[in-house]
Amino acid sequence: MIWREFFIFRAAVSVFHSRFRRGGELRSSRAAIPLNFQKCIMKNIFLFCFSVLTGILYAQKPEIQTLLKDNISIRAIQIWDGKVWYAGTDSKFGYVSLKDTADQKQVSLSEKKLQFRTLAQDEQAFYAINIESPAYFFRIDKRTLKAEIVNGDDSKNAFYDALYFHKHTFYTFSDPEADLELKFAEFKMDNGTFYAKYYSDYLLNSGEAAFAASNTNIAAAKNYVWLATGGMSSRIFRLNTKNKDIEIFSTPFIQGTSSQGIYSIDFYSKKFGIAVGGDYTKQAENFNNIATTNDGGKTWQIQASGKNAGYKTCVKFRPGSKGKEIIAVGDQYIEFSGDYGQTWTIISEEKGLYVCEWIDRDTVILAGKNRIVQMKLNERGFLK
C-alpha cells in the first residue's frame, strides 16, 4: 500500500512540474505559484516521506512464528535433533520439531505435578530437576523418552535454579539452607551410577540466592563455570574446573531486596560476558540491570543504565558475532544490542516470554507462558 501511494504521488508531482517547466519558464512559473500552495506541497511531501519511513521501520520488526501452544509455563529449553525440547509446569516434558510443528510429543515425568525450571543434556539423555522440596534429579533417555530418578534432595530449602552441562559434567545450584552454605554442585553419570560433588566450603550472604527465571544463571567457557546470584547480594562465583577453586566477585548490579539482582548470564569467551536482570516486582525500572565484564567476571561495568526496557530474564550472545550482538528477553519486551551491550533496541513487544536460545546466527527460539515461538533476525536484529 505504501509503495502504490508513493508512485501515485510521484506521478502527480511530475505532472504538476511539467506544466510549469514548458518552454524553459521554470523561474517565472514558480513565481506565479502562491506561497501558501508551495508550503502545502512541501508539508505533504514531508508527511508522506515520514509515513514511508515509519512503515519501513515497522515492517522490519521481527515476526513471531508459533511452534507450540499448551497450558504450560516454560523456563528451560534445549535444542537437539532438529527439535526444541522443553521442561515445564505440571511435570510436562516434550519436544516440537523445527521443520514440522505437527511433529511434537509430550510426556509426564511424574504422577505428581512437579514444576520444572531446569533442563540440560549430554549425548545420551536429558536431565531435569524440579524446584520443590524434595527435589528429584530426572534422567530422560533421548531415544525412548523413558524417565528415571537418579538422585534426590529432601532438604527443607531445596530449590534448584539452573542446570548446565559443560565438558562432560553437569553443574547445578540450589538456594541455601539456614547455614548459608553454598549449594553449588557438579555431577555426572558413569555406567548408571550417580556421582556428585558439592562446593559447600563457601558461604552466601544473608538473603542471597538465585532466580529460577530461565535456567541461565550458570554459564561456562573454556575452563571456567560462572554462577550468578541475586537478592540482598548480587555476586559472581567462578569455578576453575582444573583446580576446583572458586573465586567470588562483587558486582555493581542492582541488589538489596529479595526480587533484585542478576537473573541471567552468558559468556562469549573466558574473558567477555554479560549479566542482565533487574526487579521482577518493578519491571519498568531500568537502572543498573545490565553489566558486562572483560576479565572473566572479576570486575563488571554497568551498561545502558536508565536507557533500556527494564527487567530481563534471559540473555544470549549471537553465534558468530564475536560478542558484539546480543539478544535479551523479559516478560514485556525482546531487546537487541549490536554494540557489546552498550545500547539496546526493543525489537518486539511480545509478552510472557522468559527464555531464549539461538539455533543459528539468524534464528532464535523463545519460550514462556503457554507457548514456544521462533523469530528470524537480520544483521541489525530486525526481520530477515
How confident is the model over 197-246, as pLDDT tens digits? Answer: 999 999 999 999 999 999 999 999 999 999 999 999 999 999 999 999 99
Which pLDDT belongs to residue 338?
97
Write out residues in the chain with pLDDT < 70, as ranges. 1-62, 381-384
For the CA atoms of 326, 290, 315, 137, what is the dihedral angle to 10 degrees? Answer: 160
Which pLDDT belongs to residue 63?
78
- How far apart are the C-alpha atoms of 78 and 86, rounded to whole Å? 6
Which pLDDT belongs to residue 379?
72
Answer yes or no: are the C-beta atoms of 377 and 368 closer than 8 Å.
no
C-alpha cell at 337: 544490542
Neighbouring C-alpha atoms within 13 Å toward the C-beta of 160: 33
Answer yes or no: are the C-beta atoms of 289 and 310 closer than 8 Å.
yes
- Taking the model in full, what pTM does it have? 0.85
Question: SS3 for 312?
Answer: coil
Q: Which residues does residue 65 pair with via DSSP β-bridges, in sequence order?
A: 374
Which pLDDT belongs to residue 378?
85
Which pLDDT belongs to residue 60?
57
Answer yes or no: are the C-beta atoms of 249 and 224 closer than 8 Å.
no
- What is the DSSP track for 248-308? EEE--SS-SSTTEEEEEEEESSSS-EEEEEEETTSTT--SS-EEEESSTTSS-EE-STTSS
Residue 274: which of 265, 263, 262 has the closest Cα? 265
Question: SS3 for 228?
Answer: strand
Which pLDDT belongs to residue 7?
46
Which pLDDT belongs to residue 20?
40
- How far apart are the C-alpha atoms of 203 and 277, rounded to whole Å? 23
Which pLDDT belongs to residue 208?
98
Q: Which secondary structure element, helix H or strand E, spans residue 11, and what is its range?
A: helix 2-21
Burial of 238 (0-12, 13-18, 19+ CB in 10 A): middle
Which pLDDT belongs to residue 36?
60
Residue 228: which of 177, 274, 285, 179 has the closest Cα? 274
Amino acid letter, 206: S
Residue 344: which of 276, 258, 295 has the closest Cα? 276
3-state SS of 161-193 is EEEEEECCEEEEEECCCCCCECEEEEEEEECCE
Q: Which secondary structure element, helix H or strand E, spans residue 28, and what is its range?
A: helix 26-32
- How far apart are the C-alpha atoms of 353 and 36, rounded to whole Å? 52
- Residue 104's contacts (CB-CB under 8 Å, 6 or more residues apart) are 68, 94, 95, 96, 97
What does DSSP say about strands 169-174 and 92-97: parallel, antiparallel, or unpaired? unpaired
C-alpha cell at 14: 511530475
Which pLDDT belongs to residue 123?
97
